[in-house]
Chains A and B, each alone.
Chain A
């Protein structure tokens, strides 16, 4: 009997030792990166796994972007089946805090990762900070919208500067004149390809134009307070003017807009930096004209561009095991340190060390548009905002008819105000 006990104890000890010896921390990872950037993230993950073989293994799953992803996060946290780490949008953090799905990234965590406030731009850091002053995410990047342009078409219409950037970027009149000149040159169907069938998408452009007038969407908890309603009306007005003058594509959805631009039927396009890999890859295979991407034109008083950040977040109720936490933090910091490669997905890395490096500064078109980090605006901090958030549907419903000339901008703004008030 005694012997049996001894043997069992020894066996247990052996198993214990062997598991600690070969313990590879498995980090369950969820992301929503399904496009060209997803391919690049998978490469970063497999490189990380290779470098940390035997110690940490990231077990990654890519899920459907938007409401499906965020709903899954919420249910998985509720039943204790959440991943160890996940990607999140900074703009969704206020809603996530209301839903109580995020764990704080503590000062100790930041110290472990070797990152801190000083490593990120002010707006980016602010984006992951909750109303309580604590941080809830580790920023990976910032992904603004930019103006893509066809150098061949603009060149032929005499609209390029000597350095290959578009000419009419300084004011509303200049930009409209440039659109008109391209239209007059007659080589393209639309001077500007705009996602006019998708109000969700156009929110980014319209909000940027509101920001260019120093406007705010939300002031002290009130939507479109004071003259902000007028500023939204101005923003919608200029876009409608281009539609009425036949200068931009109408009722065009997202894929169609990209297709119009890449097929050369639209000379310019306002779109997210995440389309950079599409252009790079097409150009590399000889299927695309000479192209470029620059910061949005200044239509109103000052430069301003809407942006959001991909961040890493740790779900609430995740394992408190220090070894697991350390592995998760190592995975996050590992990816952040390698985010120069992430920049090939078009995104601007959040890590200042990367954006200040000589390699990044030589990278095109990122280097041309990265000046805009000084002029970024983020979503207002409310649970109602954020990508695929509640205000998206309200905006989209009234943006689409306005952008296509069916509805008067003033009428749209008052309808939006009314709808936002009964959220």
Chain B
């Protein structure tokens, strides 16, 4: 059958035009605008003056940027790999259950994930509040000294990472379970016929066959934890915000508290580049690790 390529192209163009228009308007245009804004001395709203790369060069000596950068890195280290392993561990356990019990246990682990962050904050504040927290009464009972968890810098990031893992593990568990179910039962049967130990089965079958899912979970976690903001903001309100800064918090502070739109844009661009570089590196690393197996 002869096809009129020209008219097909036109139809295709017309069909994708609405998408292109909306994508351009709400993604491409603001992104380009943010890049342009990062070269200006500008308030949050309104016109700025062109200052070249000033906003970028001053980041080198900006102590708050330094804090934000290292705190973000620290938080990623505390949450991405541990979070993935916690989820893997739980999903291995759940996959051994069956029927209603499995559904119930899965639902229990998934429950925190559906909570909005404000509720997560409330729950953990009630638990760990220095004066009235439930956990503090347990501490008293056990004879420990009370610890103001979210008010001491050393405790802050580990505690927020813990809460984040508690909150978001449900989704990773779901992904891992899907991955585990995709592994054919025959392989496990064969290995048990060969008298393989549980550890050998895991090491030689489950882990390699699950690797694509593990890589996916790690990548999703990495990108979302680099953009951490809500929990840090909520838990440090009124406490020691400048010691607990992370990248997105610093962008928020510059833009919305200090009214420095240009400087906030520059930090946002830096974060944007970090996310791209880290994701590409991560992806390549996963591919390499996958091939080796």
Q: Which residues of A contact B (CB under 8 A)?
A: 67, 71, 74-75, 78, 95, 98-100, 195, 197-201, 249-254, 256, 259-260, 383, 388-390, 392-394, 396-398, 400-401, 404, 406, 419, 422-423
Q: A394 — which chain B residues lie within 8 A by C-beta?
A: 242
Cβ of A74 and Cβ of B45 under 8 Å apart? yes
A sample of 7 more A-B contacts (CB under 8 A), given A67-B256, A251-B130, A422-B62, is A100-B46, A195-B238, A250-B148, A253-B130, A400-B239, A404-B148, A423-B258
Q: Which residues of B contact A (CB under 8 A)?
A: 43-46, 62-64, 129-132, 148, 151-152, 237-243, 253, 256-259
Cβ of A197 and Cβ of B241 under 8 Å apart? no
- Min CB–CB distance B95 → chain A (angstroms): 42
**A78 to B261 CA separation, bound complex (whole angstroms):** 14
Q: Which residue of A lies closest to B132 (CB)?
A: A256
**A–B pairs, 15, beta carbons within 8 Å:** A74-B45, A75-B45, A100-B46, A197-B151, A249-B131, A259-B132, A389-B257, A390-B257, A393-B241, A393-B257, A396-B239, A396-B242, A397-B243, A400-B240, A419-B242
Q: Which residue of B lies closest to A195 (CB)?
A: B238
Main SS class of interface, A: helix
**A154 to B240 CA separation, bound complex (whole angstroms):** 33
- Min CB–CB distance A345 → chain B (angstroms): 23
- Min CB–CB distance A160 → chain B (angstroms): 27
Cβ of B131 and Cβ of A252 under 8 Å apart? yes
Main SS class of interface, B: loop
Known: A197-B238, A197-B239, A198-B239. A393 touches B253 (CB 8 A): yes
Q: B62 — which chain A residues lie within 8 A by C-beta?
A: 422
Q: B240 — which chain A residues lie within 8 A by C-beta?
A: 199, 396-398, 400-401
Cβ of B238 and Cβ of A253 under 8 Å apart? yes
- Min CB–CB distance A361 → chain B (angstroms): 36
Cβ of A396 and Cβ of B44 under 8 Å apart? no
10 A-B pairs with least C-beta separation: A198-B238, A251-B148, A397-B242, A251-B130, A256-B131, A78-B45, A393-B241, A397-B240, A390-B258, A200-B238
**A251 to B64 CA separation, bound complex (whole angstroms):** 24
Cβ of A252 and Cβ of B256 under 8 Å apart? no
**A389 to B131 CA separation, bound complex (whole angstroms):** 28
**A154 to B226 CA separation, bound complex (whole angstroms):** 52
Known: A199-B238, A393-B242. A404 touches B132 (CB 8 A): no
Cβ of B242 and Cβ of A383 under 8 Å apart? no
- Min CB–CB distance B204 → chain A (angstroms): 51
- Min CB–CB distance B145 → chain A (angstroms): 11
**A187 to B256 CA separation, bound complex (whole angstroms):** 46
Known: A67-B256, A256-B132, A383-B259. A99 touches B43 (CB 8 A): yes
**A98 to B259 CA separation, bound complex (whole angstroms):** 9
Q: A422 — which chain B residues lie within 8 A by C-beta?
A: 62-64
- Min CB–CB distance A422 → chain B (angstroms): 7
Q: Which residue of B lies closest to A193 (CB)?
A: B131
Q: B130 — which chain A residues lie within 8 A by C-beta?
A: 197, 250-253, 256
**A393 to B148 CA separation, bound complex (whole angstroms):** 19
**A195 to B151 CA separation, bound complex (whole angstroms):** 12
Q: B239 — which chain A residues lie within 8 A by C-beta?
A: 197-199, 396, 400
Q: Which residue of A lies closest to B63 (CB)?
A: A422
- Min CB–CB distance A269 → chain B (angstroms): 13
**A99 to B239 CA separation, bound complex (whole angstroms):** 27
Q: B253 — which chain A residues lie within 8 A by C-beta?
A: 393
Cβ of B131 and Cβ of A397 under 8 Å apart? no
**A74 to B44 CA separation, bound complex (whole angstroms):** 9
**A74 to B130 CA separation, bound complex (whole angstroms):** 36
**A195 to B257 CA separation, bound complex (whole angstroms):** 23
**A419 to B243 CA separation, bound complex (whole angstroms):** 12
**A78 to B258 CA separation, bound complex (whole angstroms):** 17
Known: A198-B239, A250-B148, A251-B151. A67 touches B257 (CB 8 A): yes
- Min CB–CB distance A263 → chain B (angstroms): 10
**A393 to B63 CA separation, bound complex (whole angstroms):** 14
Q: A200 — which chain B residues lie within 8 A by C-beta?
A: 238
**A74 to B16 CA separation, bound complex (whole angstroms):** 36
Q: Which residue of A lies closest to B253 (CB)?
A: A393
**A250 to B147 CA separation, bound complex (whole angstroms):** 11
Q: Which residue of A lies closest to B259 (CB)?
A: A99
**A422 to B263 CA separation, bound complex (whole angstroms):** 13
Q: A404 — which chain B residues lie within 8 A by C-beta?
A: 148, 151
Cβ of A388 and Cβ of B257 under 8 Å apart? yes
**A75 to B43 CA separation, bound complex (whole angstroms):** 12
- Min CB–CB distance A250 → chain B (angstroms): 7
- Min CB–CB distance A73 → chain B (angstroms): 11
